[in-house]
Amino acid sequence: MRFHRSPFTALVGTSLLAISLATSAIAQTYPNRPITMIVPFAPGGGTDALARIMTESMRGSLGQPIIIENVAGATGSIGVGRAVRSAGDGYTLSIGTVSTHVLSGALYALPYDLLKDLAPVAQLASEPVLIVARKSMPGCRP
């Protein structure tokens, strides 16, 4: 007796083989090595303190050390630039503020594009911004 295969049978067989091979592959878990968090300010400031508090709980949940690198200078653009030049593998993060990740790009010609070279992960905090002036200044309402 001769067995005839239809194109549909061949497609189903190939699909089942591909699925079985894909499920047998062992995926590498993330993270499997230390993570670096770049803080574009000197140690001791508000952003540095937030990064250090946040990484304590991240270490426990991720099971990997998180190394904080303070890279200050040029209104934070040196530290942000280091993050942009790092490998895009998820092992280098940058924490910053509206001044380092928005305003510096609007005010200065940077060697990187903040919109194209960085991807936001999470908003950690917000801070109110307020403009004030003396009441005697022309144009101010009583």
The domain ranges of the chain are 35-117
pLDDT (tens, 9 = 90+) of the chain, 142 residues, equals 454 555 545 454 555 445 555 554 556 788 999 999 999 999 999 999 999 999 998 999 999 999 999 999 999 999 999 999 999 899 999 998 988 988 898 899 999 999 999 999 988 888 787 888 888 888 777 6
Nearest to 63 by CA among 105, 30, 96, 99: 30
Instruction: Quickly list DSSP for 21-77.
Output: HHHHSPPPPS-SS-EEEEESS-TTSHHHHHHHHHHHHHHHHH-S-EEEEE---GGGH
pTM here?
A: 0.71
Architecture (CATH level 2) of domain 35-117 = 3-Layer(aba) Sandwich (3.40)
